[in-house]
Structure 1
Amino acid sequence: MAQGPDRRYMTGAQAEAAGVDVGLRSYMLRVYNYMSLGIAFTGAIAMIVAMNPAAVQAISGGLFWVFFLGVLGMGFFAPRLMMTKSVGVAQGCFWAYAGMWGALLGPMFFAYAQMDPMILVRAFLITAATFAGTSLAGYTTKKDLSGLGTFFMMATIGVLIAMLVNVFLIQSTGFELVLSIGVVLLFSAMTAYETQMIKSMYSQGDMGEVQSKKAIFGAFMLYGSFITLFIWILNILGIMRE
């Protein structure tokens, strides 16, 4: 079985660096594990909804805006609750967020399954590959990405406005395709930024509840980017198929 470096032959600084490296790997693994479980939970909820025509109809109707506003509200308030309240509250926010996304994705799964069930699989695989590549880049890069935070915030607001304009005014498939590509590029870069930020949040001195809340918060951030990438990649594949 592989073992870590033997600290008997290290200087104090080297031993401390090795400890940080092992702790950081463990912390990031917890982040990715939480995120993966959240994605699996969302997929399960979406599939359950997609297989129930009554649920699809209800969520496609008036309930859509309830869940949509719930997701937006959770995206805004949950990070503060996660870092200031208990681990139980942080987990509750994470799973509620993943569950609401699952409900929202249910009608989309149903529609694309009628078109071509394999399109969902292709979109997931493309999303997973894109996410893995950009997250790895964010983890390994030496360049400081922290200055991009304000840009990403403004760009996300711009995307929301453009999306609403297209839905209610322009209603152009061409504009939707361009917007979809832009969102994929934006959230690919945001994934790298978020990964570096989550990595920088790690502290060797963190114990128990503090590290757990940081891991859940990091998973929450990366989960949101993964789901956004998946939705818009799926949209691109759908438009190209049509």
Structure 2
Amino acid sequence: MNQNYNNAVGNNADVDLGLRSFMLGTYRYMAMAMAVTAGVAYFGGQAIQANPQLMGILRNPILVIGFIFAIPFIFAGVGRKLPTMSIGGVQAFLFGFAAFMGIFMSAIAAFVDPMIIAKIFFMTVAMFGALSLFGYSTQRNLSTFVKYAFAAFLAYVGLGILGMFFPSLSPFAGGVFGTVVLIIALAAISLITAWETQMLKQVYYGNAGNPAMEGKLAAYGAASLLLAFINMFQILLSLFGRE
């Protein structure tokens, strides 16, 4: 009996070490992708300052709406093909997506005080880290609640789109209405972030012992976490980034 117990403990320790390695790999990918986003945003911001007409392209409603609607389809498409994709293909998706996000973050880099960007960035890092730790350690199944978070976040995105045509409905216009919408959106993306971390644990356990698939899932998960981080950053910037 003691031998069986020791074997069980040993197996659990191996799984935990594997999970730790998988999660660290995911966050390493995310950090590298974030660096790509920041670099593209910086140089894009410099280009906008030199050629202000570029701002009109980034704020084109058709382009922005197309990008917003493309994101879930792109993620779903890559997710379906993940088992047959190479690790290089998934990495290309991750860093290509990070660069594309950097293009849309260029407007922030061009016109927002770098000190404010730094303040909100570190605020986002602290919040994101706390939520990831919660999602990793909690025993409660967050899937029960996350559907409401997705509904709330989609409503926020919908108001953002309407705000391009009807500025009074924009959550970024300020005022009590905009602040309430942003707070709800922040709560929604916070729960989504914790849930995504919990889901990463589940997909790891479902693919433990398959190093090739684990590597692809780490890169794919990093892209999803990067999107959550950027959304959180933008909401916090709208709430606390005013000079």
Query: TM-score interval w.r.t. the shorter chain?
Result: 0.7 to 0.9
Question: 57-66 or 150-159, which moves further after superposition?
Answer: 57-66
CA separation of 1:215/1:233 partners in 2, compared to 1, >3 Å: closer, same or farther? same
Question: 8-17 or 150-159, which moves further after superposition?
Answer: 8-17
1:234 aligns with 2:231: no
Task: Please state whether the residue corresponding to 2:52 is helix, strand or coil.
Answer: helix
1:81 aligns with 2:78: yes
Number of residue pairs the alignment of both structures matches? 230
Displacement of 1:104 in angstroms is 0.6
Task: For 1:53 and 1:128, locate their aligned partners in 2 and report how far apart those are by CA, in whole Å.
Answer: 27
Task: Please state whether the residue corresponding to 1:61 is helix, strand or coil.
Answer: helix
One-letter code of the match for 1:222? L
Task: For 2:38 and 2:204, locate their aligned partners in 1 and report how far apart those are by CA, in whole Å.
Answer: 29
CA separation of 1:43/1:13 partners in 2, compared to 1, >3 Å: closer, same or farther? same
Displacement of 1:198 in angstroms is 0.7
Task: For 2:73 and 2:50, locate their aligned partners in 1 and report how far apart those are by CA, in whole Å.
Answer: 27
Deviation per residue, 1:159-212 (Å, 9 max, x gap): 111222334221542132222222222111111111001111113633232111
- 1:93 corresponds to: 93
Task: For 1:208 and 1:55, locate their aligned partners in 2 and report how far apart those are by CA, in whole Å.
Answer: 46
- 1:158 corresponds to: 155
Displacement of 1:10 in angstroms is 6.7
One-letter code of the match for 2:90? A
Structure 1 residues not aligned, in runs of 5+? 1-7
Task: Please state whether the residue corresponding to 2:112 is helix, strand or coil.
Answer: helix
User: Do the aligned residues in 2 keep the contact of 1:67 with 1:100 (CA within 8 Å)?
Assistant: no
1:26 aligns with 2:21: yes
Structure 2 residues not aligned, in runs of 5+? none
Question: 79-88 or 175-184, which moves further after superposition?
Answer: 79-88
> TM-score, normalized by length of structure 1?
0.85
- After superposition, residues 141-180 of structure 1 pair within 5 angstroms as 141-169=138-166, 170=168, 171=170, 172-174=173-175, 175-180=177-182
CA separation of 1:16/1:56 partners in 2, compared to 1, >3 Å: closer, same or farther? farther
- 1:12 corresponds to: 7
Task: Please state whether the residue corresponding to 2:224 is helix, strand or coil.
Answer: helix
- 1:197 corresponds to: 199
Displacement of 1:227 in angstroms is 0.6
Deviation per residue, 1:210-234 (Å, 9 max, x gap): 1111111211111111010111111
Task: For 1:95 and 1:55, locate their aligned partners in 2 and report how far apart those are by CA, in whole Å.
Answer: 26
Task: For 2:143 and 2:10, locate their aligned partners in 1 and report how far apart those are by CA, in whole Å.
Answer: 28
Task: Please state whether the residue corresponding to 1:144 is helix, strand or coil.
Answer: coil
> TM-score, normalized by length of structure 2?
0.85
Displacement of 1:56 in angstroms is 5.9
